[in-house]
Amino acid sequence: MSNKLLSGSQQVETDLDQPLYTPIKRRSFFMYAGATAGATALVLAGCSKSDSSPGMVSVGSGDVGVLNYAYALEQLEAGFYTQLRTGSYYTGLAAGNAEKLILDDLYYHEVIHREFFKAAITGAGATPIKALTPDFSKIDFTSRTSVLGTAKAFEDLGVAAYNGAGRRITSANYLVIAGKIVSVEARHAAIIRDLVSEGTFVGSDVVAIGTTSTEISKDPATVVATANTFLADGSKLDVSGIQ
Amino acid sequence: MNIFEIISEIEKVDPEVYDRLDSRRSIFKHMSGLGQKLTAAAVPLAFGAVLNKAYAQTTAAPGVVDVLNFALRLEYLESTFYNLGLGTIGATATAAQTTFRSGFSTTNLASLDIIRLDESNHVSALIATITALGGTPIAAPNRTPNALGVTGDFDFTGGKGTGTGPFAGIFTTPATFLAVAQALEDTGVRAYKGGAPYLMSNKDVLTAALNIHSVEARHASRLRTMRRAGAANNTASAVAPTNSGTNEADRSASPKSWISGNDNGGPAPAVTAPVYGAGTAPAYTPTTLSAPVFPAENNVIQGGVTLSATTLTATANFPTLSYSEAFDEPLDVPTVLTIAKTFAVTGSTFFG
C-alpha cells in the first residue's frame, strides 16, 4: 500500500518540482540485491510508519528507516552543493582555487552518498523516500559567509546525525557503511570550519572539548528540527519511526 | 575428574566454548569414542589437546571491553606522541620542545595543542568507560623519554628503540611530525570503524566510540590540511593540493583533507602504505558484513555494488577517485596492531 503511495507521490514531485537527483539505474543494483539478508522483514518494517503525519515524509522505521533518514540528509547536502555551483560565489572562484577544489569534491562526495543510499535501499528490497524539494531561500549563494556557513552547518549536522543514528542500526553491515561515510563527513566538516576560521576543525559547539573530547551526537528528532528548515512544505521529514 | 563438568565450568566463563569445539555433538561423540580407546589416566591429556586446538586455532571476537582496551592502546600511542613533541599537558615545555613548537605557525600550533588535549581526554574517557563496565583498563605504557622520540615502549622514529628509524628527527622537524601524526590519526579512524560492530551490544558505548571516531577524522583532516600547506603556513586551508603529475602520486606529499585512492601509500609510503592498504578479516569477522570487509582505502565496492558513473548515473563525469574518496574504510584489529608496532620498541609487549 505504502509503496503505491510513495511511488505515486514521487511521480508528482518529479513533474512539479526540481528533483534533487537524477534517478539511478535500479536494474543494475538489483544484481547485487540478493546478498542482503532479511529484505522482506526490512520492507515490512519500513512500511509501518509510512502513513503517519500527513504532509510529512516519513523515513519509516527499523534499519530501512535509518537508511532513509541518511538518504534524506544526503539529499539535502547534495542539493546544497549542487545549487551553490550556479551561485556567483562559487562561479567567481578561480580555477585551482583551494575553496573551489574543496567545494567541487564535497559536491562529488555528497552526490555519490545520495545515489549510493538510493541504490542501497532499493537493493535491500525497500522503498527509498521520494526526491525531497529543498528550500534554500535563506541561503545567499553570492556570499562566501553564507555559503561556507551553511556548508559548515550541514557537515556538522551530518556528523552529529550519523553518530546519533548508529545505536539505532541493528545490522552490523549498515553500521559499518554509516561509519565509512561519517568519517568523510567529519573530514569535510573540519576543512569547512577551517575555511570559515582557521584552526576551528573542532569547536565546543560540536565536540565536548573540555571533558571527553567526544563529538556531540544528535538524535533524529533534533537533527530534523534543523534539517526541516531547509526543506519545502511537503518534503519535511517525520523521523518518529526511528526516534 | 569429570570432563563434562569441566566443559560446563568453562562454559560459565566462555559461553561459546561449544562453538570452539567444532560442535556440541561432535565433541561429545569424540570424547566418548576416546573413552573406549584410552585408559582413564590418558583422557585428561587428550581433553587438553582438544582444548588447545580450540583455543589456539580460533580467536574469539573481541568483546566490548576488549575493543575499548584496543582503542585505549592507540590513544595512549597518540597522546604520548603529542606530549613528547609539543610538551606534556600542564607542564612547562622543555627548551627543545619550545624550539620545536616555534617551527609551526600560530594557527597550526594551536591546532596541534587542541589535538594533544583531545587525545589525552580520549585516554581518560576510555579508562573511565572500561572501569564503569567492570573491566580492567590496560596498564599505561612507559612514556618517559630516554632519548629523543624514544621511551621504554615507543620509538616514534620507527627505529624500534634505536631512535634512528625512518622518522629520525621526529621531534625536531615539523614536517616529519605532521607526517607521522597524519598516519596515526588515519589509522585511528580505520581502527574505530573496524571495532564498531563489536560494540553493538552496548548502545551507549557504541555511541561514545562513534563520537571519538569522528573527532579522530576531524584531526586527520586538519593534519592533512597542515601538511598540504606546510607547517609554517598560518592559513593552511587556503592552500590547494598540488597536481604535478597523476593525482594520487601527489597525495603523498600534498594530501587532500580526505583520503584519495590510497594516497599513494601516505606520507612516507615505504612505512605508511599499510595505513592505507587492505586488512585481513579475522576468522571471527561477522559473515553479515559485505565484501570486501577490510579493503584498501581505494575501494569502490560499497554494500556489494561497484560505484562508478555507470552504476550511479547522476555522477556522470565525476573524477574516478571521487568514488573512493567518498568512503573511508575500516581496518581489522590485528592489522592495526601491526601498524602500531611500527612505533613499538623491540621487546615491548604494549601492542602484543
Find the CATH number of the domain harbouring A107: 1.20.1260.10
Question: How many residue pairs from chains A and B have C-beta atoms closer than 8 A?
Answer: 249
- Would you place residue A207 in the very low, low, confident or very high pLDDT band (cuts 50, 70, 90)? very high
For residue A83, give the nearest of A110, A64, A56 by alpha carbon. A110
Q: Which residue of A has its CA nearest to B243?
A: A96
**Closest-CA residue to B166 (of B273, B277, B77):** B273
Query: Would residue A12 count as lying in a domain?
Result: yes
Please give chain B's pLDDT, 352 residues, in tens. Answer: 454 455 455 555 555 544 444 444 444 334 443 434 444 444 444 444 444 444 444 579 999 999 999 999 999 999 999 999 999 999 999 999 999 999 999 999 999 999 999 999 999 999 999 999 999 999 999 999 999 999 999 999 999 999 999 999 999 999 999 999 999 999 999 999 999 999 999 999 999 999 999 999 999 999 999 999 999 999 999 999 998 878 899 999 999 999 999 999 999 999 999 999 999 999 999 999 999 999 999 999 999 989 999 999 899 999 999 999 999 999 999 999 999 999 999 999 999 9
Q: Does residue A195 fall inside a structural domain?
A: yes
Q: Which domains does chain B have, with CATH numbers?
A: 3-57 (no CATH), 64-261+331-343 (1.20.1260.10)
B304/A36 touch (CB, cutoff 8 Å), yes or no: yes
Long-range contacts, B237-245 (Cβ 8 Å, 24+): B237/A98, B237/A191, B237/A194, B237/A195, B237/A198, B238/A98, B238/A99, B238/A195, B239/A98, B240/A96, B240/A97, B240/A98, B240/A101, B241/A101
User: How many angstroms separate the CA of residue B3 from the nearest CA in chain A?
Assistant: 37
Q: Is residue A243 part of a domain?
A: no
Q: Does residue A179 fall inside a structural domain?
A: yes
ipTM summary value = 0.85
Q: Which three cell numbers stand for residue B224?
A: 592533512
Residue B306, min C-alpha distance to chain A (Å): 9
Domain count within chain A: 1
**Among candidates B197, B208, B305 on the partner chain, residue whose Cβ is nearest the Cβ of A119:** B305
| Contact by Cβ (8 Å): B174, B231 | yes
Range of the domain at A58: 2-238
The answer to whether residue A79 is domain-embedded is: yes
Q: Is the model's pLDDT at A51 over the cut of 60?
A: no
| Cβ contact B16:B58 at 8 Å | no
Following CA atoms A188, B266, B323, A140 in sequence, which dihedral angle do they give, to the nearest 10 degrees? 20
Residue A93 has pLDDT above 90, yes or no: yes
- The reply to whether residue A191 touches residue B311, judged by beta carbons under 8 angstroms, is no
pLDDT band at A31 (very low <50, low <70, confident <90, very high): very low
Residue A17 lies in a domain: yes
Q: Tell whether A189 is covered by a domain.
A: yes
Distance between B253 CA and the closest CA of chain A, angstroms: 16
CB B193 within 8 A of CB A179: yes
What does B239-295 look like in DSSP terms, one character per residue? PPPP-SSSHHHHTTTS--SS--TTGGGSSSHHHHHHHHS-----TTS-TTSPSSSS-
Q: Would you say residue A76 lies in a domain?
A: yes
Q: Which chain B residue shows the shortest CA-CA distance from A113?
A: B326
